């Protein structure tokens, strides 16, 4: 097995011909326009826009959107991530929970993903603030399904318990990002596959009624065999939902792209995921961790009901 050395990106690689997005049409285009106009008219901010997500048309047409809370900069410095790094972030915004709730209500969403930056500077890694944000949204729009894409909370299971205890939440997500062997090259030294798996396992133990979810990027130097092994480790941790997508270097200062797996490879991973017993998945070059998140939740819910019947 030959594994190529990871280098920093120096030039943007040419994207394969099949690396394209499809714009919605008809009713879906109208729904996307409605969401876009609401965001523009009310000067709202979403990760979908700021990260220039290639799937924004699909997700907004489905009335899904992703928001980031607890600041715009992270206390960690992962080598794949476009979010800025800072040692001592500004204090948390006390008005953020209500502002977030207002934004989600104004957009008329069906499903909202709340993602966070790492806050290693805080005693609880931000868990209390994340909870306030989710509670404010639930109170304002109880019909919206909620997904928290959480940090690893520095591996503190008590902070996780304080966050999840009695919380009304449909999906708890935390991304392992890459295969275990690449942790030290790809992620901040404070983040590891083992720690991430531990948080996912504990979340399921604490709240078996909540679906758990994770995501893996490809093109960082992993092998196909390592992806399969990582997927099995996630399933062994009773993770319910998983996504796999292509890594793209945000800038020349980030890790270089190692490879572009063909679309057929994602189909093979999808078959493996189904055989392993995951309830929902999305695999493809343009898939991101929050891709069609509401649809994944809906499909998983149907599977659960079918299994019970």
Residue 211, judged by CB atoms within 10 A of its CB (0-12, 13-18, 19+), counts as buried
What pLDDT was estimated at residue 4? 46
The pLDDT tens digits for 168-204 are 999 999 999 999 999 999 999 999 999 999 999 999 9
Q: Tell me phi and psi for residue 9, to 5 degrees.
A: -70, 130
Residues paired with 218 in a beta bridge:
246
Confidence class for position 80, pLDDT limits 50, 70, 90:
confident
Tokens coding 197: 């798996």
Confidence class for position 39, pLDDT limits 50, 70, 90:
low
Reduced to 3 states, what is the DSSP secondary structure of residue 281? strand
- Cα–Cα nearest to 96, from 119, 125, 70, 122: 70
Taking all residues of the chain, what is their mean pLDDT, rounded to a whole number?
A: 86
DSSP conformational letter for 114 = E
Asked whether 62 and 292 are in contact (CB, 8 A), the reply is yes
What pLDDT was estimated at residue 2? 43
- Cα–Cα nearest to 147, from 180, 186, 173, 177: 173
What pLDDT was estimated at residue 291? 85
Query: Considering the domain 26-308 in this protein, what is its CATH number?
Result: 3.20.20.70
Could you tell me the maximum CA-CA distance found in the chain, to the nearest angstrom?
Answer: 55
Q: Tell me phi and psi for residue 249, to 5 degrees.
A: -70, 125
Reduced to 3 states, what is the DSSP secondary structure of residue 15? coil
pLDDT > 70 fraction of the chain, expressed in percent and rounded: 80
Helix axes 193-206, 157-164, angle to 10 degrees: 40
Q: Tell me phi and psi for residue 147, to 5 degrees.
A: -130, 125
Q: Flag whether pLDDT at 243 surpasses 80.
A: yes
Highest mean pLDDT among 78-87, 251-260, 268-277: 268-277
**Cα angle at 17 between 13 and 18, to 5 degrees?**
115
Report how far residue 118's alpha carbon sits from residue 82's, in angstroms, rounded to the nearest whole number. Answer: 13
What pLDDT was estimated at residue 1? 44
Q: Which residue has the higher pLDDT, 280 or 84?
A: 280
What pLDDT was estimated at residue 301? 92
Domain coordinates in residue numbering, the chain: 26-308
Report how far residue 266's alpha carbon sits from residue 16's, in angstroms, rounded to the nearest whole number. Answer: 15
Report how far residue 273's alpha carbon sits from residue 280's, in angstroms, rounded to the nearest whole number. Answer: 9
Residue 9, judged by CB atoms within 10 A of its CB (0-12, 13-18, 19+), counts as middle
Numbers of helices and strands, H then E, in the chain: 11, 9
Report how far residue 56's alpha carbon sits from residue 50's, in angstroms, rounded to the nearest whole number. Answer: 11
Residue 135, judged by CB atoms within 10 A of its CB (0-12, 13-18, 19+), counts as middle
Report how far residue 207's alpha carbon sits from residue 161's, in angstroms, rounded to the nearest whole number. Answer: 9
């Amino acid at each position: 097995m030959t594994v190529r050395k990871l280098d920093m990106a120096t030039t943007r690689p040419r994207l394969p011909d099949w690396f394209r997005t499809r714009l919605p049409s008809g009713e879906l285009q109208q729904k996307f326009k409605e969401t876009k106009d609401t965001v523009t008219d009310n000067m709202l901010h979403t990760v979908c826009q700021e990260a220039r997500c290639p799937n924004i048309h699909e997700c907004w047409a489905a009335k899904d959107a992703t928001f980031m809370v607890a600041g715009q900069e992270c206390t960690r410095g992962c080598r794949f991530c476009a979010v800025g790094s800072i040692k001592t972030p500004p204090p948390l915004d006390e008005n953020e929970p209500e502002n977030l709730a207002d934004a989600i209500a104004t957009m008329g969403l069906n499903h909202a993903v709340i993602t966070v930056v790492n806050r290693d500077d805080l005693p609880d890694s931000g868990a209390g603030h994340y909870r306030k944000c989710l509670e404010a949204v639930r109170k304002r729009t109880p019909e919206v399904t909620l997904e928290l894409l959480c940090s690893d909370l520095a591996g503190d299971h008590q902070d996780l318990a304080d966050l999840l205890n009695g919380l009304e939440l449909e999906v708890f997500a935390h991304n392992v990002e890459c295969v275990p062997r690449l942790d030290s090259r790809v992620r901040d030294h404070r983040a590891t596959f083992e720690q991430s798996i531990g948080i996912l396992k504990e979340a399921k133990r604490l709240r078996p009624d909540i679906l758990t979810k994770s995501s893996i990027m490809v093109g960082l130097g992993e092998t196909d065999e390592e992806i399969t092994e990582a997927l099995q480790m996630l399933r062994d941790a009773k993770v319910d939902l998983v996504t796999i997508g292509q890594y793209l270097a945000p800038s020349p200062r980030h890790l270089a792209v190692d490879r572009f797996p063909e679309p057929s490879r994602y189909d093979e991973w999808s078959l493996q995921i189904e055989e392993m017993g995951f309830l929902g998945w999305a695999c493809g070059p343009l898939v991101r961790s929050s891709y069609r998140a509401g649809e994944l939740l809906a499909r998983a819910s149907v599977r659960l009901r079918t299994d019970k019947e």
